[in-house]
Structure 1
């Protein structure tokens, strides 16, 4: 190991050592590759889009049931070429994750101790490893985050490239809107430091893709945000309950994936010690506050996977003045502490981990890997048709004339059911009308069940408004006009205005 720390280590030997680290990471990612049920919610839209049904989930209505436009378009483009879904998504995920790590190893980790520490930190984060695949947008977020950090940590004598930083930040936001919080302080600080009409013009130009998407979203879907935003945050639940659940999310992570939580906290602390990195620390802190205020997530560690990836970069990559945040011993000592904490989760103290904990949080990979892991993939029974929910969805296609079904889980089931079947989601992830109703109690984070108003299913099946509640009849008419009406009709745009002003505020969640 002494030769690894030598400042005069031949470049070829250093390159080979980094290649070995990268291959180790790649092998671990491939070994643990899997797909989540939630990914197939988006993949149904990918399939519809590539087969001429538009950017829809139920083809009869325009509802954005995905949160990651950039990731969706990337998958749609590759799927249109390959004609296959499961392996295509996994290959794209693995390539994005591997490219992100390679980018850091060869662009940011200028010395071998940094490269070793970076890969060790990633391998100690279950959240990072779990979401290098899964079918969700995290791998592309890793790649964009690595690119942003590379641009931000440019040598001190070089001016930070404002246009490119804003463009990468824009793409990261397009990949998932709330990720803007990770880079917002850095971009705001840079724009303030370079304040001029030219800088403002360059920043505005770089943000055009995001502006274009928001304009499209308002025209096509009638709303600026994904439907899941309304389904999960427009519930009638008091904000204090969300915050308590968000704190519980961090406690759960400290119990089941302590390496990830410590990595994020150490990354924030280290970045605050450097003037150039301080805006990145503010971004991590701001995102952490957001996660708590939004109640966290039902997927263990998912929301902290990208912050953990950025924290690993901030802890190990060279500073903008050419040095590293810590000396080699301090850096590797921090890694050793995280390794010990990460290893502690392997010790069985509380007994077998339940599939869904009392907090409502679950180890999603553990939940689904038995059916969707790459290591167990079979062409004879491909995902999602090898899962009971996929089999149920497939059976729905074979039950004419019925074409409208109730559903509580819509990923595997919705994808397998195909475009001729309309699923009505109890959790409102794909239902614009139910997403504007208060949820039932008790609730589970990420799963806010709604009761179907009297006459709702009859309205969907008949095409007429048969809802009996007079207070909900106008809302149903507006949603139907927005999601099914002619794009540029005056009536639809009036309904868009009313729908965007509609709030569940002060509503009391219903009882079952």
Structure 2
């Protein structure tokens, strides 16, 4: 390879890495959802297992590997978990941008009849987008997912290199990496699975070795997941009803992202450029471009089918990155130089123009939440200056809904309250505050449930609470009951389920006869009785009954049946016979029922 070509590849790689670091660093922050991940990490570090609440086996994070990577770093450093998550995500993003760009440059240089210089191209499109730079940190696994894509693409490029210059065993490394896709994010199994099929189809005699490299790690964890949690997928997929179709909302989500940034223009330019450049490719070099592009487009369709997300652009970032992989860098010609110059101008406009909500304060009290720029929303909602996004769990205590949390929670723990609940303090200008609720008297397995708090924003409550406090949400990320509730029509994607306040107090040791006036006490008592119905008690046992070999086997069977299909009715009376309903309305207290068991002591 000529010296100028090597220098161009090095310079292109450096541009990608520097741009990625600058973009992620200047927009670094911590999201409420990122704090959710850290609650599980805290439990892992404390020896409680991969759970969100002690005594309840719920996989509240979509990315298995992400929580374990943060835990591994935390074991060897005294750094704050928020800092570990931020720096780990940013590092992965920078390495992903640089290595993906380098691999694409190698692809074009090794494919050319003569050595060519390369320039950055697709990576500029991706990193110019504010959501791409926002989710370079945020505490979520997007940096890890980008790194998976980058290594996958680099291995594909090596696999497609002529045999005399390739690493003979690269197919096995590629197979192993494809197996990890399921543990990075479940939807990445699309890329890993299709790649595995291609590997077997092109090297059929090596099928046993390919399967041996790809399957043991994800299969072992899958068996563990099914037996430990009673589910085939992470619990987040149940909460968000990922198997349902919401095409119209998905299209709105796509336009909310692509329309605002005129993204269709640079993406169209990238696709046309890629088609022209790859026109002479044959064999494996053509196959990996088709594989990458096909999987990325299928991924986009999946995002549209499930309705997108409530976070601006987030769910489309990964398929966009995958779609741009073959053109992260391109050979330097007059035409590509001109197109790249136009893209640089577009990128400059987008960086200056920023995102849809930076230009004005977000009045979250007065308008319906649908799709929002999360970084800007939380910055505004917490009363912080523009650009000064939250970085740590305590920053979220400035949220109006968290008023009094850090004062009332210790007192509620000391007094062995059953629940701490949010309410309105009408004596203080209708401000939010948290109130303790007393336990009922008498023996019941519900007395084994620790102090419980429900709130939709699960991260800020969970990371500002000790691990002996049970933190649940109303939409189902950590709450099996809420995850199985029916979806609300026209609800916010990802937040379109709601566990009513009657169900909330029922699954606790709260004294139902001492509830505020706005509760339907009879419904709450019906809900408490419904918890012991066969269907619901079985669901609760999958996460609460102490782990044993018998429980593991029962959970495994459950994951293949009701774990996939169970949906609950929000009316608890449907789970009760008429005689029980009459008894409750005549004053019977279902809190003292003991069979079947629905709560166990928490160690």
- Fold conserved between structures, TM > 0.5: yes
**Other-structure match for 1:150:** 154
- SS in structure 1 at match of 2:464: helix
Q: Which runs of 5+ in 2 are unaligned?
A: 110-115, 418-450, 512-524, 572-603
- Pick one of 291, 300, 304 that aligns with 2:312: 300
Does residue 186 of structure 1 match 2:192? no
Q: Is the 8 A contact 2:312 2:374 kept in 1?
A: yes
Shift of 1:95: 1.2
**Other-structure match for 1:99:** 95
TM-score by length of 2: 0.71
C-alpha change, 1:180 and 1:257, in structure 2 (3 Å) is: farther
Shift of 1:190: 2.5
Shift of 1:478: 1.1
C-alpha change, 1:509 and 1:477, in structure 2 (3 Å) is: closer
Shift of 1:140: 1.1
Q: Is the 8 A contact 1:391 1:413 kept in 2?
A: no
- Residue deviations 1:22-52, cap 9 Å, x none? 3343223211111111111111111111122
Superposed counterparts of 1:214-225, under 5 Å: 214-225=222-233
- Pick one of 442, 446, 470 that aligns with 1:422: 470
- SS in structure 1 at match of 2:472: strand
Q: Measure, in 2, the Cα distance between the counterparts of 1:268 and 1:359.
A: 37
- SS in structure 2 at match of 1:286: helix
Shift of 1:101: 2.3
**Other-structure match for 1:364:** 374
- Residue deviations 1:57-78, cap 9 Å, x none? 1112110000001111100111
Q: Measure, in 2, the Cα distance between the counterparts of 1:172 and 1:264.
A: 28
Q: Measure, in 2, the Cα distance between the counterparts of 1:42 and 1:378.
A: 16
- Residue deviations 1:125-164, cap 9 Å, x none? 3332221111110111111211111111225313682211
**Other-structure match for 1:86:** 82
- Pick one of 200, 206, 221 that aligns with 2:214: 206
Does residue 398 of structure 1 match 2:446? no
Deviating more after overlay: 242-251 vs 430-439: 430-439
Shift of 1:79: 1.8
Q: Is the 8 A contact 2:191 2:295 kept in 1?
A: yes
Q: Is the 8 A contact 2:29 2:389 kept in 1?
A: no
**Other-structure match for 2:437:** none
C-alpha change, 1:306 and 1:460, in structure 2 (3 Å) is: same
**Other-structure match for 2:31:** 36
- Pick one of 288, 291, 309 that aligns with 2:321: 309
- SS in structure 1 at match of 2:411: coil
- SS in structure 2 at match of 1:256: coil
Shift of 1:379: 9.8
C-alpha change, 1:440 and 1:176, in structure 2 (3 Å) is: same
Q: Measure, in 2, the Cα distance between the counterparts of 1:376 and 1:352.
A: 15
Q: Measure, in 2, the Cα distance between the counterparts of 1:76 and 1:348.
A: 33
- Residue deviations 1:215-262, cap 9 Å, x none? 111121121211111111079xxx45x111111111111223333885
Q: Measure, in 1, the Cα distance between the counterparts of 2:475 and 2:342.
A: 42
**Other-structure match for 1:411:** 459
- SS in structure 2 at match of 1:399: helix
TM-score by length of 1: 0.83
Deviating more after overlay: 475-484 vs 385-394: 385-394
- Pick one of 140, 146, 157 that aligns with 1:136: 140
- Pick one of 243, 250, 257 that aligns with 1:253: 257
C-alpha change, 1:389 and 1:181, in structure 2 (3 Å) is: farther
**Other-structure match for 2:178:** 169
Q: Which runs of 5+ in 1 are unaligned?
A: 1-5, 319-323
Superposed counterparts of 1:346-385, under 5 Å: 346=353, 352=360, 354=362, 360-369=370-379, 376=388, 383-385=395-397
C-alpha change, 1:332 and 1:152, in structure 2 (3 Å) is: farther
- Pick one of 301, 306, 315 that aligns with 1:289: 301
Q: Is the 8 A contact 2:62 2:234 kept in 1?
A: yes
C-alpha change, 1:377 and 1:82, in structure 2 (3 Å) is: farther
**Other-structure match for 2:497:** 449
**Other-structure match for 1:58:** 53
Deviating more after overlay: 251-260 vs 280-289: 251-260
C-alpha change, 1:348 and 1:13, in structure 2 (3 Å) is: closer
Q: Is the 8 A contact 1:33 1:374 kept in 2?
A: no
Q: Measure, in 2, the Cα distance between the counterparts of 1:348 and 1:152.
A: 34
- Residue deviations 1:145-200, cap 9 Å, x none? 1111111122531368221112112223211111222343333222212223x324
Shift of 1:355: 6.5
- Pick one of 494, 497, 500 that aligns with 2:557: 497
Shift of 1:459: 3.6
Q: Measure, in 1, the Cα distance between the counterparts of 2:60 and 2:25.
A: 28
Q: Measure, in 2, the Cα distance between the counterparts of 1:469 and 1:335.
A: 67
**Other-structure match for 1:3:** none
- SS in structure 1 at match of 2:105: coil
Superposed counterparts of 1:326-345, under 5 Å: 327=333, 329-330=335-336, 332-333=338-339, 336-337=342-343, 339-340=345-346, 343=349
**Other-structure match for 1:227:** 235
Q: Measure, in 1, the Cα distance between the counterparts of 2:183 and 2:200.
A: 20
**Other-structure match for 2:541:** 481
Q: Measure, in 1, the Cα distance between the counterparts of 2:217 and 2:265.
A: 33
Structure number with larger C-alpha Rg: 2
